[in-house]
A and B are shown apart, each in its own frame.
Chain A
Amino acid sequence: MTKRKMFLRMITASLLRRRSRMLIALLSIAIGATILSGLVTIYYDVPRQMEAQFRNYGANMILVSADDQPLTGENVEAALSLIPAEKVIGATPYRYVNAQMVRSQLSFVAAGTDFDQVKATSPYFVVEGEYPSGVRQVLLGKEVAETIGAKLNSVIEITYKPTAVLSEAGGELNPGATLAGSAEGFNQNLVYVTLTLGDDLTIASLEVDASLQTPEYGGQCAEEFFTSRFLGKALPLTFGEDVDGVSGATITSEAVVNAINNAQVTENATALTGATLSMQVTGILDTGGKEEGYIFMSQEDMAALTGERDRYDVMELSVSAGAEELASYVDQINAMEAGVTPRLVKRITNSETAVLGKLQALVFLVTAVVLVLTMICVSTTMMAVVTERRREIGLRKALGASDGSIRTEFLGEGMFLGLLGGVLGTALGFAFAQVVSVNVFGSSITFQPLLLPVTILVSMVISALSCLLPIRQAVAIDPALVLKGE
């Protein structure tokens, strides 16, 4: 038998055969180790959990156009290529236009999007019915549905007239030029005009589209008895002087005059004639936010409505990354200069950072307090152990134990306790973290293998430190006094 074996035999015998007292020390170390490993596990797992949680609150980054032009698939692709694909939980394009309901003449924001991605970037959307899955289907915001009285499976007619026509305009006012314009009429719905100029630059022909106005009143402004009043008049016109309004439709009449005055030369007069689509309501959207006032449709339907493809106003991204990482993506995308400006949704990323920072401080504090308490507890217990074993220590010294041997033996017992407590604590701590995680975040955590050696090491160091004072007491014991009678 080697000395080391005997050493281990003595230590284990001391721990196993003197259970009650050592159990208290072991328990306190194990509890300390449990809290330590549990909190550290939670601490390392929480950012991941929180990120997942925060992803439920919607997009944390949006891409908008860097200039006045809408985004295109091309520049969005370029920006997205800078973010690792596995980090992108969802990327949802939105094209927003103002569209009118044919029947009610009310105008709403229509949004063309990709519903599969919407589910990823806006998991908090509550849809009564279903998301549209085919063409000529819409998801109505709750507010829209209530305003126009639409129900699930109702069919609504939506029409779109581009105001953007003017952006294509510009050119000389020459004889024979075609001009197009629009102006707000009744209920802020647009009135459109297309006119041609004669040789003397007066109005040679005029067409009015008042289909978004109340048919029996403003609708009359599209009729010839009214449009003929403008022929031969020079621009600009003054309402009430050059032309009189249709009685009962003053607002629409004035809108026609304004539209003519606004009108610009255009090559593409057909751009004025947007489409009207009949669409089925498959779902009604409840978000508690501004989305309730929107009409959502697929990108195909949006293209059919506007005659434009591959145009986006906003790209919403849900990226699985912390604030710092997100900021680095923003920098990279900006540096690329692809006509895309990335923005962080500060409300989300800031609260994520703030919560994590507070959590970190809390974990450190609690861990430090628990470790100090553990040390006090172990130290007190070991102190009692030394007192209890005075005779034995005296005897060992009488038998020839040096101070060093006494030190080694107590330290050995302490470290052994630390080892057991550390193993126990890692297991219990993982269970503890698991319970917390399941109850708080509703998801389980993964075991960090590195935690086992770290917890054991910390427990052993803690118990070794706790033994220092008791060991000093043990070394000071005088064998002669202890062994004398008493």
Chain B
Amino acid sequence: MSLLELKNISKIYGELKALDNVSVHVDQGEWVAIMGPSGSGKSTMMNIIGCMDKPSLGEVLLDGVDISKESSRALTNIRRDKIGLIFQQFHMVNYLTAVENIMVSQYYHSMPDEKEALEALERVGLRDRAHHLPSQLSGGEQQRVCVARALINHPELILADEPTGNLDETNENIVLNLFSQLHKEGTTLIVVTHDPEVAEAAQRTIVLEHGRVAREVINEGFIEGRQYV
């Protein structure tokens, strides 16, 4: 069953077509990687899927709802309820501790629950860093906190834009293992990456070029629940 369906979407900035008649569909529980050279429209697509932007043309169906027509208030609600976001830069609120950063997400979603937030940190191996400020955490640790924050409200869809772009191999593996586990639990994952190794961890890779889908590759070597070390 398809969770997400992009139907002939375009995003036009003046002369420039950041996305040019793109159609993509993602099934419930699928793990998809998106690759492409810089400026090919990957982030633009992620912003549209993540309800932070609207396409100039075309329809976006998320869970059967056309989000391209929704008000920004409704988009905020959909984003809050269904989507977990992970960014290339480790965006944390810099004056809140690791656990508080996760609780912010709970706060906007429903109710802050410190115990649950600590469990999420446990899951990314940072239970002992719960009360550290972002400035006291390494880049890899910050990104793991962001992963924990993305999954805290049990979203149907996790969108990650270059989640491992600034990480060393050890941290990259930790993040990939988390994705692997989330996928096993049934979460849908869409991961933008430049790194072929990260793309290979997914079930399918969509390659964008000049705002168009250049090709789609089914990853034959995909192994469910694979451990990266």
Contact = CB atoms under 8 A, between A and B. Distances in A.
Contacts of A275: none
Contact of B93 (A2, A392, A405): A392
Interface string B87-118: 11101111110001001111111011110000
Contact of A395 (B43, B79, B91): B91
Given A1-B113, A484-B47, A399 B80 contact: yes
Q: Decide if the interface of chain A is mainly helix, strand, loop or mixed.
A: helix
A6 B76 CA distance: 20
A396 B93 contact: yes
Interface string A398-418: 111111010000000000000
A325 B77 CA distance: 66
Interface stretch (A10-18, A174-182, A449-457): A10-18
Nearest to A1: B112
B217 interface: no
B96 A10 contact: yes
Contacts of B50: 398
A483 interface: yes
B81 to A, nearest CB: 8
B105 A399 contact: yes
Given A1-B103, A484-B43, A400 B95 contact: no
A10 B104 contact: yes
B26 interface: no
Interface residues of A, number: 31
Interface string A460-486: 000000000000000000111001111
Interface residues of B, number: 35
Given A1-B112, A17-B133, A399-B80, A392 B94 contact: yes
Contacts of A483: 52, 87, 89, 91
Interface in A14-28: 14, 17-18
A401 B108 contact: yes
B112 A13 contact: no
Contact of A2 (B76, B85, B94, B111): B111
Contacts of B53: 480
A9 B95 CA distance: 11
B73 interface: yes
Contacts of A480: 47, 52-53
Contacts of A399: 80, 85, 104-105, 108, 149
A3 interface: yes
Interface string B53-97: 100000000000000000001001101110001011101111110
B108 A17 contact: no
Given A401-B76, A480-B47, A483-B87, 6 more contacts: A1-B113, A398-B50, A400-B109, A483-B91, A484-B47, A485-B89
11 contacts: A2-B111, A2-B112, A10-B107, A13-B100, A14-B95, A398-B91, A399-B85, A399-B104, A402-B73, A480-B52, A485-B43
Interface of A: 1-3, 5-7, 9-10, 13-14, 17-18, 391-392, 395-403, 405, 478-480, 483-486
